[in-house]
Chains A and B, each alone.
Chain A
Amino acid sequence: MIELIEISKTFPNGVQALKNVSLTIGDGEFVVIVGLSGAGKSTLLRCINRLVEPTSGKVVIDGVDVTAAGPEELRRIRTRIGMIFQDFNLVKRSLVITNVLAGRLGHTSPFRGLAGLFSREDIDVALSCLDKVDIRDKAYVRADQLSGGQQQRVGIARALAQMPSLILADEPVASLDPPTSHVVMRDLKRINEEDHITTIVNLHFIDLARQYGSRIVGLRAGELVYDGPAQDATEGTFESIYGRRIHEGDLRDVEEVGRSERGSRSSR
């Protein structure tokens, strides 16, 4: 169970990104956090593994106070939290398998890591994680040779290699085209269901949020403004979260004109 207790974050430049956000997430949930860009979604997600230090408030995971952990304990906590990024954040010049094995580094001694001496089991774990996202055949290809969708799946495999109990995904499909977005979202959903890994996904596409999320949390200007089951979230709900009318840009799948236009823009 993950408990966020009155989390606030004010950045050194004075921007208050989060205001007293409290949230409890049960084991195995698939939670989608929605909100406009700048609403504080990324900051909230990063407060959970302390890539961003909350200014005040507490994060408690399975009874362990993450915010009070010292450096070594924090490192150990992070080994059980997988993270997926909008821009994949792969080491592009390294092999796919090396990127996935990076997920094992937290469980490996620093010296074995430096020598690249991963155990047979670690390599098997990495390969089976690649298998889970259907790109095992790319294991010995350099990461920069892959398409965006394939790179994101390597990102997922890296997170899975940690054998996490929690996955944080920060806008995982924002850099992908619509069909690929669905592949990645389906992968995340399937992993959540099959492996019972609690999953928190930041999204700004409301159709994806409704389709894949089981619970939707809405942020507006750093405040939690909605929390409820995905099936109860209507267009009106999203309009109140976003504080404006919903338009095409808030949807990943647009049937009418503009689809090809968006496709070319988002294939970066």
Chain B
Amino acid sequence: MSKRWAEVNGEAGPRADAHAPARPSKARTTMAFIFVAALYVWSGIGTETRPVSLLLGIPDMANLFSRMWPPNMAYLRTMVVPLMETMQMAVLGTALGAALAVPVVLVSSRNISRYRKAYYTARAVLNLVRTLPDILLASVFAAALGFGALPGVMALAVFSFGIIAKLTSETVEAIDPGPLEALSATGSPRINVVYYGVVPQVLPQFVAYCLYVFEINVRAATVLGLVGAGGIGMWLQRDMNLMMYRNASAIILLIFAFVLVMDFISNWLRGRLV
């Protein structure tokens, strides 16, 4: 392709010098040590993380735990619907993210993308999207769309899109180019070269990435409620605020069991893929 492209992909220029590397002096190690230690002290002061306050907090913690015990298991019957909503958020968020990722992968994979500008733009967007934490996305969507499960779904969709598109692009870039060459040589339309040459090569990994992101989303969906984005987290938030700690502890146990089961199912499915 063009020269700039070759340069971008090529090796770095010649090495600056051929001197034997100098042995780092002791002084530099000591300086680094002091710097890191200072960093810890500074962070500790800023966050008021003092060993003493931690020790003084123990009775309060014990008090809280005692008020959480025993968990109100009868309460879980009313939590079935919120829990299902949490799962539905994870399912929809993952599916929307994956659907959004597919066309973008065609642009953000170096070996498939035909327009360099689009490639760099897509890459930049993906990098940007992945810097946004899901909880931040959820609070923005909650502010825009109102409280409920919809902002949660949207937050998870954007978040899933970023991860799935990035991982899948990297997989597409690593495929065997031979079949693509052969399909191009048959005079197949471009879209079918991709469909017949790329899809079979990456499909198992793509599905594995979706399941992996689904696992992350199940966990994320349980806490998105804390910022008003639906699911069981909203109920946890409410019970904590109302100091209904036995309800809260039941919810925490339920989330724990739920995440464990979903992880197990997803892992089992992923294991069967390859």
Contact = CB atoms under 8 A, between A and B. Distances in A.
Do A and B pair up? The answer is yes
Interface of A: 12-13, 49, 51, 75-83, 85, 87-94, 98, 102-103, 105-106, 108, 110, 113-114, 155, 158, 162
B197 A91 contact: yes
Given A89-B178, A91-B201, A113-B192, A81 B185 contact: yes
Contacts of B176: 92
Contact of A85 (B181, B195, B201): B181
B196 A91 contact: yes
B82 interface: no
Nearest to B204: A93
Contacts of B192: 105, 108, 110, 113-114
A110 B178 contact: no
Q: Is the interface of B mostly helix, strand, loop or mixed?
A: helix
Given A94-B196, A94-B200, A89 B179 contact: yes
A10 B19 CA distance: 37
Contacts of B3: 12
Contact of B178 (A75, A87, A93): A87
Given A91-B179, A91-B201, A105 B188 contact: yes
B197 A162 contact: no
Given A89-B178, A93-B201, A102 B195 contact: no
B187 A76 contact: yes
Nearest to A142: B200
Contacts of B184: 51, 78
Contact of A162 (B1, B181, B186, B203): B186
Contacts of B6: 12-13
Nearest to A103: B186
B124 interface: no
Given A94-B196, A108-B192, 13 more contacts: A51-B181, A79-B186, A83-B186, A89-B179, A93-B201, A93-B203, A102-B182, A105-B186, A105-B193, A106-B186, A113-B188, A113-B191, A113-B195
Contacts of A51: 181, 184-185
A90 B179 contact: yes
Given A87-B178, A90-B179, A91-B201, A114 B195 contact: yes
Contact of B187 (A13, A92, A106, A158): A106
B189 interface: yes
A202 B79 CA distance: 70
Given A12-B3, A89-B179, A105-B192, A158 B186 contact: yes
